């Protein structure tokens, strides 16, 4: 096959207005193509021109021979393709008749072997003959070149006459029959029994015929494979207008789902197995729709086809063909149509079996240079009955879903099979219900190759069931594009099946069947015709809706502008600005709350914790000791010195100090401050406006706790190391002793007050102080008797006591419990009241000891006043712990937390996440939605206004007659 010549070189090669001056043809042999380049040199002298005319004549012969060889190779390819098609059909037959598999497989194998052997034998002979033809043509060219100087004048005149005859014959070439005629002339020139002149004329005619046929074949092949790659100016304008209206439709769908703001789409309906999927895949050029034995299409598929220039991908990283799911931006551009098919299958199968169908649409955009600008909606196919695994109301659900989409202004593409009577077509029945006149219904008759040609032509004419937009007959049976046949055929990784479909339809509707489907029969057949018909109808419908949609958009825009003015005073915001304001407010609130963690505040918290520990130690070592009252009496003896005090009390003081200093003060104090910081962050992260942003609130809490965990261990170790000296020796001066003693008195006063409050509570429950005193006295007798009873048991009277209790007798001397006077609950309260009363008496005694002259003397009296000594130690521990906690924990946290907010929230979120964050706040979402709606309506209004102005210009040019061709809207207005 010859490659198409550049347009710029044709006038120089086929110029009939003047003789061929000095053409030079260069033949580049290759395995599949012959490249011919013609260059004109008008300034070369005449002698040089004569020298190259004869070589050009010889080159023509060689080109004819090589073209014939390529023709034979094309025959090889066609024969192989036909054989493989037969193989595919044979294997399909074997699969369908598996019962007779073994015998059928043997017959098929022998048949295919004989057929393939015969085809290859014929092809081999043809290639050998063609190689000889090319050899002879080259030899004749060399002989002519060596003798051209001797016979230049005669040869020039002969060449001129033959060139003129060759050009005349070549100008009419362009069809398959003319090319075959030139091939036969070239073939006859190779016979040895003919003269040189006959050979020369045959070679020139072969060259010119091959060039014309190759040019026509290249144009035909280009149009067949890519009908939208070239066209007239009207077609280009048609594509641009349709694309503009589709873009407007997409924007309107994102603004509102109101029927007033909808441009028409093409809705594809039909029964199951009617060929809907084949029609759509033939339009797109790839298999991408879900396939399966059961009903796979369970959701509407809103398909937007976008025609992209074929040279757009060569200058950038954008692929030539790809699909996009707008509602799933994470998938990006999908270049594999098998992946698109699997995604569509998964999305459809996500509908639960008990529902069977869903009205939630799947949005898909396909960008390709081989598709027209169309908006198609594929719906589940009509069924007559439901299967056992489908709900009984499935038929009604599908009918309701289709009725929802085929309402105005959408265009209905009713798909019907040719082998089924149109009277039984559910698609035509549904379209007639909503479109009685058929003004917006296109009938598509599939499987035309299953009926007789005359019957198919009658169906497509639509005389029995007429439609205003007519019927289009298609075959849409593409060759296999996957499996073993695809690997044998050597197709590309992602073949475009449109060209194969168009070739198959050209074979079916042409040839002998052209008498039924020819242009003079006024029937519309072929996928290419269907695509252009859909473009024409869609643009017509969109253009007719232009004025109405413009008025509706104008009304919506005025309403949105009024609301935006009233509610927000035309104040514009963005998701980024809201995010920045929120982060600034978070930092300001954090800085405000950090005032709670100054050194005095932290020291006060630690002192409170250590004071509680001091009280617990005093209760354990002193208050529960019966000899504590003895310590108070020793303190009143002025002659007794600290050195003379019993070592029992000195040991108790050292034990109390060790319990306080070695109780994990570093861990406890650090944990106390860290817990306060956690509560602070939690209160900020769960407050306004983070109540609307749970994910960001969780992220703030997570990284703040991570900072605290990182610093807590180091801080606790530092605090423990710094308070280690106090575990062995505590030094204090008179001032510290006086402060500690005053604080101890204060703490004792608080403890006495709590005891009094609790006693008053029990007194109120019993009904007065007299009843409380009686209950305390009764409980004291019970306690005394219990003590004596335990002593008797230890002394050997256990058996006698047990026997008397078993017999139900009251032991002698036991107090009588009056059940009507004191209930068990009152007995429990009495025990608590007795304990509180004893504690209160002891606290008052120790409070008097703290106020005594001995305790005021100084720290050398610490053994007599353990309360003051332990309070001073607690103050020292709190001061030292605060200093190091502030350095190791607080300052580091206050420094890192704001920076972590910036790095992990403000700078770590992408644009989509920021937009999602802003819309989590209902008030901000309402503001952004109204603002975005207003902006999109303004954008649509500008586009519509431009189209309306273009319409006015077109009308004006038609009225004045300034343009014969008209503008974009000529065919509609």
- Which range, 10-14, 20-24, 257-261, 767-771, is most confident? 767-771
Q: What mean pLDDT is predicted for residues 652-675?
A: 91
What one-character DSSP code corresponds to residue 406?
S
Q: Which of 889, 906, 902, 585 is nearest to 707 (CA)?
A: 889
384-427 pLDDT, tens digit per residue, is: 787 777 777 888 889 999 999 998 888 999 999 988 888 888 99
CB under 8 Å to 171, separation ≥6 — which residues?
14, 16, 212
398/297 Cα distance (integer angstroms): 11
Q: What mean pLDDT is predicted for residues 87-104?
A: 43
Q: Is 907's pLDDT higher than 90?
A: no
Q: What mean pLDDT is predicted for residues 136-151?
A: 52
CB 204 within 8 Å of CB 54: no
> For residues 585 and 36, which has the higher predicted lDDT (pLDDT)?
585
Q: Using only C-alpha atoms, what is the Rg of the chain?
A: 51
486/190 Cα distance (integer angstroms): 39
782/358 Cα distance (integer angstroms): 80
Specify the 3-state DSSP secondary structure of 35.
Answer: strand
291-343 pLDDT, tens digit per residue, is: 776 678 889 999 998 888 766 544 556 678 899 998 888 888 999 999 999 99
Q: Is 533's pLDDT higher than 70?
A: yes
pLDDT band at 39 (very low <50, low <70, confident <90, very high): very low
CB under 8 Å to 320, separation ≥6 — which residues?
308, 310, 312, 313, 368, 369
Q: What is the pLDDT of residue 135?
A: 58
> For residues 951 and 189, which has the higher predicted lDDT (pLDDT)?
951
Report the predicted TM-score, pTM, of the whole model to 2 decimal places. 0.56
Specify the 3-state DSSP secondary structure of 967.
Answer: coil
Residues in the chain, overall count: 973
465-500 pLDDT, tens digit per residue, is: 889 889 999 987 665 554 444 433 434 445 567 777
Tokens linked to 154:
């005669």
622/501 Cα distance (integer angstroms): 103
φ, ψ of residue 325 to 5 degrees: the values are -100, 105
Locate all alpha helices (DSSP H) within 387-524, ordered by sequence: 394-405, 426-434, 453-461, 484-489, 498-509, 514-517
Helix (H) / strand (E) containing 78? helix 46-96
Q: Is 969's pLDDT higher than 50?
A: no
Residue indicated by tokens 């393709």: 81
CB 358 within 8 Å of CB 299: yes
CB 29 within 8 Å of CB 66: yes
What one-character DSSP code corresponds to residue 72?
H
Q: Which of 13, 14, 11 is nearest to 168 (CA)?
A: 14
Q: What is the pLDDT of residue 241?
A: 64
> For residues 365 and 135, which has the higher predicted lDDT (pLDDT)?
365
149/160 Cα distance (integer angstroms): 17
Q: Is 70's pLDDT higher than 70?
A: no
600-644 pLDDT, tens digit per residue, is: 999 999 999 999 999 999 988 988 888 888 888 888 888 888 888
789/770 Cα distance (integer angstroms): 29
CB under 8 Å to 910, separation ≥6 — which residues?
none
Q: Which of 503, 514, 454 is nearest to 475 (CA)?
A: 503
pLDDT band at 580 (very low <50, low <70, confident <90, very high): very high
CB under 8 Å to 357, separation ≥6 — which residues?
298, 299, 351, 380, 394, 397, 398, 401
CB under 8 Å to 358, separation ≥6 — which residues?
298, 299, 351
Percent of the chain at pLDDT > 70 equals 66
**Residue 483 CA to its chain's centroid (Å):** 30
Q: Is 909's pLDDT higher than 70?
A: yes
> For residues 698 and 31, which has the higher predicted lDDT (pLDDT)?
698
**Residue 112 CA to its chain's centroid (Å):** 49
Q: Considering the chain, what is the average pLDDT of its residues?
A: 74
Left if phi > 0, otherwise alpha if psi is -120 to 50, otherwise beta: which for 275?
left
Q: What is the pLDDT of residue 478?
A: 61
928/542 Cα distance (integer angstroms): 30
pLDDT band at 177 (very low <50, low <70, confident <90, very high): very low
**Number of Cα atoms under 13 Å in the Cβ half of residue 42:** 4
Q: What is the pLDDT of residue 32?
A: 39
The reply to whether omega before 811 is within 30° of 0 (cis) is no
φ, ψ of residue 917 to 5 degrees: the values are -60, -45
φ, ψ of residue 88 to 5 degrees: the values are -60, -45
pLDDT band at 6 (very low <50, low <70, confident <90, very high): very low
pLDDT band at 667 (very low <50, low <70, confident <90, very high): very high
> Helix 46-96 and helix 152-171: axis angle, to 10°?
40
Q: What is the pLDDT of residue 223?
A: 47
Strand duo 471-473 + 322-324: pairing? unpaired
**Residue 525 bridge partners (DSSP):** 473
Q: Is 810's pLDDT higher than 70?
A: no
CB 268 within 8 Å of CB 276: yes
855/846 Cα distance (integer angstroms): 11
The CA–CA distances, whole Å, from 823 to 14, 766, 809, 818 equal 129, 11, 21, 9
Q: Is 18's pLDDT higher than 70?
A: no
Rounded to the nearest 10 degrees, how much is the dihedral formed by the CA atoms of 465, 470, 475, 478? Answer: -140
Left if phi > 0, otherwise alpha if psi is -120 to 50, otherwise beta: which for 332?
left
Q: Is 699's pLDDT higher than 50?
A: yes
pLDDT band at 565 (very low <50, low <70, confident <90, very high): very high
Residue indicated by tokens 């944990």: 671
Tokens linked to 383:
């069924």
pLDDT band at 258 (very low <50, low <70, confident <90, very high): low
Q: Which of 281, 294, 285 is nearest to 446 (CA)?
A: 281
pLDDT band at 194 (very low <50, low <70, confident <90, very high): very low
Q: Which of 526, 499, 531 is nearest to 223 (CA)?
A: 499
Q: Please spell the DSSP secondary structure of 37-57, one letter per residue.
A: EEEE-TTS-HHHHHHHHHHHH
Specify the 3-state DSSP secondary structure of 947.
Answer: helix
């Amino acid at each position: 096959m010859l490659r198409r010549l550049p347009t710029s070189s044709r006038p120089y090669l086929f110029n009939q207005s003047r003789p061929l001056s000095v053409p030079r043809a260069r033949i580049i042999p290759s395995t599949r193509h012959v490249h011919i380049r013609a260059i004109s040199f008008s300034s070369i002298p005449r002698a040089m021109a004569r020298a190259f005319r004869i070589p050009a004549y010889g080159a023509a012969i060689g080109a004819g021979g090589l073209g014939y060889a390529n023709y034979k190779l094309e025959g090889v390819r066609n024969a192989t393709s036909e054989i493989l098609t037969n193989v595919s059909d044979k294997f399909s037959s074997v699969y369908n008749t598996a019962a007779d598999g073994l015998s059928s497989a043997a017959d098929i194998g022998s048949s295919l072997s004989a057929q393939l052997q015969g085809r290859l034998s014929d092809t081999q002979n043809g290639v050998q003959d063609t190689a000889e033809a090319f050899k002879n043509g080259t030899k004749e060219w060399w002989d002519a070149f060596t003798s051209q100087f001797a016979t230049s004048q005669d040869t020039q005149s002969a060449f001129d006459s033959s060139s003129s005859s060759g050009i005349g014959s070549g100008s009419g070439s362009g069809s398959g029959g003319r090319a075959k005629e030139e091939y036969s002339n070239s073939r006859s020139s190779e016979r040895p029994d003919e003269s040189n002149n006959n050979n020369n004329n045959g070679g020139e005619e072969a060259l010119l015929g091959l060039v014309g046929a190759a040019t026509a074949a290249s144009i035909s092949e280009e149009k067949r494979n890519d009908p939208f790659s070239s066209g007239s100016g009207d077609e280009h304008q048609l594509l641009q207008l349709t694309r503009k209206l589709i873009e407007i439709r997409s924007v309107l769908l994102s603004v509102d789902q109101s029927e007033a703001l909808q441009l028409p789409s093409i809705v594809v309906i039909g029964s199951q197995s009617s060929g809907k999927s084949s029609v759509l895949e033939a339009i797109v050029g790839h298999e991408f729709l879900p396939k399966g034995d059961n009903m796979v299409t369970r959701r509407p598929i809103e398909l937007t086809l976008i025609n992209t220039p074929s040279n757009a991908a060569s200058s950038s990283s954008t692929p030539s063909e790809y699909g996009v799911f707008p509602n799933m931006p994470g998938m990006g551009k999908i270049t594999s149509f098998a992946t698109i098919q699997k995604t569509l299958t998964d999305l459809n199968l996500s509908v639960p079996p008990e529902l069977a169908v869903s009205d939630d649409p799947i949005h898909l955009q396909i960008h390709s240079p081989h598709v027209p600008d169309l908006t198609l909606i594929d719906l589940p196919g009509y069924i007559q009955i439901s299967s056992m695994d489908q709900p009984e109301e499935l038929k009604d659900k599908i009918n309701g879903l289709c009725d929802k989409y085929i309402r105005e202004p959408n265009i209905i593409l009713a798909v019907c099979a040719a082998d089924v009577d149109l009277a039984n077509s559910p698609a035509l029945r549904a379209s007639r219900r909503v479109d009685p006149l058929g003004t917006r219904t296109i009938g598509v008759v599939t499987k035309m190759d299953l009926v007789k040609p005359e019957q198919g032509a009658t169906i497509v004419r639509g005389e029995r069931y007429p439609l205003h937009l007519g019927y289009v007959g298609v075959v849409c049976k593409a060759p296999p594009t996957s499996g073993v046949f695809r690997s044998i055929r050597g197709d590309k990784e992602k073949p475009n099946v449109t060209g194969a479909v168009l070739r198959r339809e050209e074979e079916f509707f042409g040839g002998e069947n052209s008498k039924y489907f020819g242009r003079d029969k006024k029937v519309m057949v072929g996928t290419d015709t269907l695509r252009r018909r859909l473009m024409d109808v869609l643009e017509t419908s969109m253009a007719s809706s232009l004025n109405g949609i413009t008025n509706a958009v104008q009304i919506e825009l005025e309403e949105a502008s009024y609301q935006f003015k009233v509610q927000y005073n035309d104040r514009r915001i963005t998701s980024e600005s809201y995010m920045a304001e929120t982060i600034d407010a978070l930092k300001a609130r954090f800085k405000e709350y950090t005032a709670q963690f100054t050194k005095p505040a932290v020291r006060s918290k630690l002192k409170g914790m250590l004071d509680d520990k001091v009280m617990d130690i005093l209760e354990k070592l002193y208050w529960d000791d019966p000899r504590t009252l003895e310590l108070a009496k020793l303190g009143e003896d002025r002659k007794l010195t600290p050195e003379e005090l019993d070592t029992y009390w000195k040991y108790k003081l050292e034990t109390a100090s060790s319990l306080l200093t070695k109780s994990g003060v570093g861990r406890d104090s650090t944990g106390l401050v860290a817990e306060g910081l956690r509560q602070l962050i939690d209160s900020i992260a769960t407050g306004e406006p983070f109540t609307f942003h749970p994910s960001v609130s969780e992220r703030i809490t997570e990284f703040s706790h991570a900072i605290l965990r990182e610093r807590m261990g180091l801080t606790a170790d530092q605090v423990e190391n710094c308070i280690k000296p106090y575990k062995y020796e505590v030094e204090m001066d008179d001032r510290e002793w006086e402060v500690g003693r005053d604080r101890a008195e204060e703490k004792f006063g608080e403890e006495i007050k709590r005891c009094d409050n609790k006693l008053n509570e029990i007194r109120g429950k019993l009904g007065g102080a007299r009843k409380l005193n009686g209950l305390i006295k009764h409980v004291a007798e019970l306690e005394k008797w219990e003590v004596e009873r335990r002593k008797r048991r230890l002394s050997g009277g256990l058996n006698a006591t047990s026997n008397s209790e078993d017999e139900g007798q009251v032991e002698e001397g036991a107090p009588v419990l009056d059940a009507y006077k004191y209930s068990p609950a009152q007995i429990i309260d009495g025990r608590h009241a007795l304990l509180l009363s004893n504690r209160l008496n002891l606290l008052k005694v120790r409070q008097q000891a703290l106020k005594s002259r001995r305790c005021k003397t100084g720290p050398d009296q610490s053994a007599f006043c353990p309360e003051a000594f332990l309070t001073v130690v607690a103050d020292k521990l709190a001061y030292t712990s605060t200093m190091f906690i502030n350095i190791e924990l607080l300052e580091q946290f206050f420094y890192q937390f704001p920076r972590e907010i910036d790095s992990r929230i403000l700078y770590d979120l992408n644009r989509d996440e920021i937009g999602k964050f802003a819309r989590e706040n209902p008030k901000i979402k309402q503001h952004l939605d109204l603002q975005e709606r207003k902006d999109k309506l303004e954008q649509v209004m500008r586009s519509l206004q431009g189209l309306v102005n273009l319409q006015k210009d077109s009308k004006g040019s038609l009225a004045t007659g300034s343009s014969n061709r008209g503008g974009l809207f000529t065919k509609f207005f």
